[in-house]
Chains A and B, each alone.
Chain A
Amino acid sequence: MTEYWNPQIERMPLDELNKLQEDKLRHIVHYVYQHSPFYRKKFDDNGVKPEDIKTLEDVKKLPFTYKKDLRDTYPTGMFCVPNTLLVRFHVSSGTTGKPTVVGYTKNDISEWNTSLARALTSIGVGRGDIIQVSYGYGLFTGGLGLHYGAEEVGTTVLPTSAGNTERQIELMQDLGTTVIACTPSYFLFVNETAKKEGISIKNDTKLRVGILGAEPWSEAMRARIEDQTGIKAYDVFGTSELSGPLFTECTYQDGIHIWADQFLVEVVDPETGEELKDGEQGELVITTLAKEALPLIRYKIGDLTVKKSEPCRCGRTHPRIMRIMGRVDDMLVVRGINVFPGQIESVLMNVPEVGEHFMIIVDRFNELDYMKVQIEMTDAAFSDKVNDIIKLENKVASAIKNVLNLNVKVELVEHGSLPRSMGKSKKVIDNRQL
């Protein structure tokens, strides 16, 4: 039986939901114009006034907001409330540039918790569950975000944060953890460490659900994780600028539910900014409808996805986005061909002999790009005949060639030699001086 955190909202008929969104959109546009000098200028520069926004269609008249805007106004130049009303800051890692600061009012935290409470309920997580939050705690939004969301639904939280993996496994067994929240790469590492200690996640723990995200991962990787560990693995989505982890799939695992009373989602052509139809892949654009401290108008997150507007089989009417294929800035251009690490992962995970870890290395010699994919030798795939190993390398290379139409060199490396990650994993080394 499907359960809902707030059935009135989650199952609201589409026309009512649209009406609610429209009211909230009109409100937020006036709100930012009034409280944010940044947005007032942006609207004026683009010749748009809050009064011009009457229907949901009118959202197209509004200018986009970029990550760069947050950096340019560092630390709090885009905030709409004085600092005295803030109850928390989070700060992004700044791996791709200057860090960005996000502030939250008491209501912002409450809305964040509500979003996650609905999400957790939609995957059957609640009272009686013990959730191990293995996302990093601290400035990163993953740990504290999941922590309070889980408390909201009455789950018992085990705030392990990331790292100290042997201890995580010990606690998982001793306290009977049923749910884990972490990056997919960290979960693989937990599984691998458990195996080394002779512990099977499937048979020796009570773990039944994984809330995995904060980095792109493929459907094929999900199949592997579920098969090896016996859990149901759910994709979680969010980004610090929007608060943090906010949304998950429901038990149907058919797209991530974006709560329409809190956020307005669009998918646009990354180049032209034109709105795309349901089912067309493009860049995710989100307008916050309920945030007070740092509302964002048409924020271009940089994630590539596909939107689905029809109601889900679970009864929820809110729109869904499909698994994030990658980030616009993760895309590699190799010999003129667009390559996302996620595509490579998908291919690799469909070859049974290949393990879960890989590294993509791109080099340029004599003006030509060369891509190499390193994969680890596994016990199952090992043959002591050189020919068999070369055959396996060729098999993987031709599988990649079939999908990407790109010649890659596949190199088998020793088991355990590729880096393991506690958080977001690095899967690409680009040595080119571009």
Chain B
Amino acid sequence: MTDIPREEYILKCTSACAGCSDSLTLRYVLKAAGPDTVLVVPACCTSVIQGIYPNTAMNIPVYNVAFAAAAACASGMSAAFQSAGRKTNVIVYAGDGGTVDIGIQALSGAFERGTDFLYICYDNEAYGNTGMQRSGSTPAGARTTTTPAGKGQTKKDLDAIVAAHNPPYMATACASYPKDLFAKVQKALSIRGPKFIHVLSPCPPGWRYSSERSVEMGKLAVRSGMWILYEREYGKVTISGPSKAAMIKPVPLEEYLEPQGRFKGISPEARALLRSVAERNAQRLKKEEEGIC
């Protein structure tokens, strides 16, 4: 693997919250992508953290676009670059709301059409930009401002939806593992066609934990099996190192839930739901990796 470059494409003094792992994700994504890159950003936290016109904290072109429109906008951009013979990377950088909910139609269309682009969903498991309302990606039991008693439903299986489009490359990542994230973005951008990376993005104000613990929260998510790092390259699944280790010797789920205010007072039923979803995901991925599904 090449070293992570020193160049920065997201500059200091963004308006991100303290401890925001979205900024960290963005930092490594852009280091991997390099300067010949356009970011397409629908309404999400990243719309805000760039700063306010006429200034921007981003050192690459960023095309901000309406909530549901990112993947379609990127389709047009990718086609235009292709028409002009330009090799510029087109990356959608969208939150979970803009991906699993309002943006999923455009996402599905772009993947079905074989659009040459990379779609990155940074997932903080709620509508963060508007102050933490539930999204389809909010896990069971998590309290948000629209699920004050905890969400009754499980997290939407976005990866299964994307996988159903048979993209040449998809992966999960977390900025707590920056080298893994960096390598996955680089690999994705080396492949033609629609690529997808789903990044868990711990959120101090939304998940209600202390802001210096973001990297730790990402690691606990992986070690507890709540977030599984893997790649699916031309259909072949490879579980990434940290998750392989976690599958052998996971930390108890409680270690992940306990520091998060959003899970305070979680019911035994919701806790069981979280556990069963995590186990089902692990079993499925292990079988896929072994090629027995």
A binds B: no
Question: Could you tell me which A residues sit within 8 Å of B by CB distance?
Answer: none
